[in-house]
Amino acid sequence: MPVPEHFSFTRYLAAKKSVDDRALNRQVWETLRQNLPETSPQNPLHILEIGAGIGTMLERILERKLLRHVMYTAIDNQTENIDAARRRLQSMPGIRILETHKKQGRTANKQEQPLITLQLQERDILHMISLQQGKQLYDLLIAHAFLDLVDLPSSLGGILSLLKPGGLFYFTLNFDGLTLFEPQLDRLLDETIMQLYHHSMDERLQDGRPSGDSRTGRHLFTYLQECGGQILAAGASDWVVYPKEGSYPEDEAYFLHFILHTIETALSGHPELEPATLSSWIQKRQAQIERGELVYIAHQIDFIGKYQP
């Protein structure tokens, strides 16, 4: 696949789905399944998914028949993601979407007996916890490929306090400080670029506040414990993207181009990297994708646990 002319975040999230399907830790998923409480139409499970993107985790939950009788609230702070989620999910069997705000005049799609009643909300979790901290609203919190984007020391306690005591958290794909590309181009330059890229995650600011940690996975063991989270299972959920007979499955070549684009954007103008050095490195990696050679690995960790404040 040649280098795309434009990069779309929603297409990236769609392309990421098959990579995530392979990556999710099966033991952690099974522990979630085993710990889910019994539900009924009168006693549904209340779930909040934070940073839900275009809704692929909910699709996966339906595809894998994980849940029934659920009130599912999916929030994301980007309008285009929520709109894309609505388009993807509205015709999916088993889901009834409740329109709660903004898109006036739309009605809930008709499902005789939906497995999942869904509210899609354009909302910022940090704003949400400033209003609802400690309200104990949910039985299960899901955050997938999200927690490494926020400042956990200042926000994890508030996030967990949205759970009822004894409620479950399923926090997956938490980046943990290792990015690898093969085949090697130049060992020293490869390592320097990865170090600077990880450092850029640690230094990222949003609205003047810290927003990210390149070692979120390992740090969660401590942060969760400090905030009343009892870990029931944890395990690796590394992304491993590789070609088979010279080509990538699904839209994974696009996924790889997007990852390179993210690295280039993060490091462009970096004082420790010559612009020409960075762009030549990116071009060589892009050429490896086009030839169906590039292998990409990112280390991540999944958690399932119980909130025992």
Q: Does 177 bind ligand SAM (CB under 6 A)?
A: no
How many angstroms separate the CA atoms of 280 and 264, rounded? 11
Q: Which stretch binds ligand SAM (CB under 6 A): 141-149, 222-230, 263-271, 280-288?
A: 141-149
Q: Which is nearer to ligand SAM, 76 or 302 (CB)?
A: 76
Paired residues of 296 in beta bridges: 181, 241
Strands (E), 91-188: 95-98, 116-122, 138-144, 163-182
Site stretch for ligand SAM (CB under 6 A), options 86-94, 113-121, 132-140, 142-150: 142-150
Distance between CA atoms of 44 and 24, rounded to whole angstroms? Answer: 25
In the complex with ligand SAM, the residue whose CB is nearer, 83 or 99, is 83
Q: Which stretch binds ligand SAM (CB under 6 A): 50-58, 161-169, 193-201, 241-249?
A: 50-58
CA-based nearest residue to 169, from 231, 118, 213, 116: 231
Q: Are strands 70-76 and 45-50 parallel, antiparallel or unpaired?
A: parallel
Is the Cβ of residue 288 or residue 298 nearer to ligand SAM in the bound state?
298
CB atoms within 10 A of CB 299: 19
How many whole angstroms separate alpha carbon 287 and alpha carbon 282?
9
| φ/ψ of residue 210, rounded to 5 | -60, 140
Of 31 and 81, nearer to ligand SAM (C-beta) is 81
- Least distance from ligand SAM to the Cβ atom of residue 95, Å: 17
124 vs 250 by CB, closer to ligand SAM? 124
Q: Which of 149, 163 has the CB closer to ligand SAM?
A: 149
Considering the rule CB under 6 A, would residue 146 count as an interface residue with ligand SAM? yes
> Judging by DSSP bridges, how do beta strands 209-210 and 205-206 pair with one another?
antiparallel
What three-state secondary structure class fits 19? helix
Nearer to ligand SAM, 18 or 109 (CB): 18
Contact with ligand SAM (CB under 6 A): which of 28, 92, 115, 145?
145
The residue from 53, 167, 212, 217 that contacts ligand SAM (CB under 6 A) is: 53
What single string gives the DSSP state of each residue in 176-216?
EEEEEEES-S-HHHHHHHHHHHHHHHHH-EETTEE---TTH
Distance of CA 148 to the CA centre of its chain: 9
3 state DSSP class of 295: strand
Task: Tell me whether residue 18 or residue 192 sits nearer to ligand SAM (CB atom).
Answer: 18
Q: Which residue number, 190 or 298, has a Cβ lying nearer to ligand SAM? A: 298
Beta bridge partners of 304: 170, 233
Q: How far is the CB of 282 from ligand SAM (least distance, A)?
A: 21
The reply to whether 201 sits near ligand SAM by the rule CB under 6 A is no
> Closest Cα partner for 80 from 11, 165, 169?
11
Binding to ligand SAM (CB under 6 A): which residues in 54-93?
56-57, 75-78, 81
User: Smallest distance, Å, CB 255 to ligand SAM?
Assistant: 11
Q: Can you name the residues that pair with 72 across neighbouring β-strands?
A: 47, 118
Residue 128, classed as helix, strand or coil, is helix
Work out which of 116, 149, 193, 278 binds ligand SAM, going by CB under 6 A.
149
According to CB under 6 A, which residues from 110 to 129 bind ligand SAM? 124-126
Size of the site for ligand SAM (CB under 6 A): 19
For the record, the structure tokens of 74 come out as 């999916």
By the criterion CB under 6 A, which residues form the site for ligand SAM?
Answer: 13, 16, 51-53, 56-57, 75-78, 81, 124-126, 144-146, 149
